[in-house]
Amino acid sequence: MTFARISGVPHHIRVDGTGPVCILSAGLGMAWFDWDPVIPLLAPHRTIVRFDRPGLGLSGHARAWPTLSGEAERIARVLDAAGVGAETPVTVVGHSLAGFHCEAFARLFPERTAGLVLVDASVEETPRPRRAPELADACTRACGTLLSTAGVPRALGPFLRHTAVRAGRHTGGDPAPYDLVRRACSTSRFLHAVLAENGRYRDQAVELASLRGRSPLDAPVTVLAAYEGGSRHWLDRQGALAERLGGTFRVSEPAGHLVMLDRPRDVADAILET
């Protein structure tokens, strides 16, 4: 475990294992420990870099609104801080919202990309810009300040985290140790980060759509989708994403959105075989 200052913000970074490098980027509101079930399966074969975006996990308070290009650049700087130079291509792995970030990295830093794995990643086929983004940002900031002043993160942060994890799994609760959850989710920085990432979601989807038209994707791609049975609409969208990116499509079943918790072997296999 180490910390590196990137754009003035202390970033929590962890490196495990040995072998070719992969970097794991978690979804909205999640932390480095959410990948824990996958690590023992990868560590004998891969050097694994995990990190927390600003405000999440153990990283410092965000100083700027998130942007797609900024998140791609963040992945590059995290790799630098972990001692992985530009001459060493890596497999970038993004879950949920972080799928946007990792695809952008693969397009903007093709020389640093050995492969791209999207784990039940966000999909927006025809994203549209937000209306009145300045007003929306101001409302998001005010909401975060109001809730923080009222003590909501400390009072409800861990409970809301556990509730979200249970909802995102096929079966089971939150396997993360409570002390880590409390440290990661009981602060105003966490609340502000979650609200900011959610508020800027559409902006990043629009930015990615534009980037796809300007920067080719040359690395091998695997799209791993979660399926619990029932409607296949989400699978159809994930399959269309894989086809659009010229990638391999795999299904993890039964699994909720938090595939790394429900079926870590499927996630590890997708990484090792990309």
- pLDDT tens digit sequence for 170-190: 999 999 999 999 999 999 999
The model carries a pTM of: 0.97
Amino acid at 232: R
In this structure, the number of other CB atoms found within 10 A of the CB of residue 5 comes to 11
Alpha-carbon gap, residue 269 to 64, rounded angstroms: 35
What pLDDT is recorded for position 54? 98
What pLDDT is recorded for position 1? 79
Burial of 91 (0-12, 13-18, 19+ CB in 10 A): buried
What pLDDT is recorded for position 243? 98
Alpha-carbon gap, residue 73 to 79, rounded angstroms: 10
User: Which two three-digit tokens encode residue 85?
Assistant: 């130079």
All residue ranges of the chain with pLDDT < 50 are none
**pLDDT single digits (tens) 163-175:** 999 999 999 999 9
Strand partners, 4: 11
Alpha-carbon gap, residue 63 to 11, rounded angstroms: 12
What pLDDT is recorded for position 75? 98
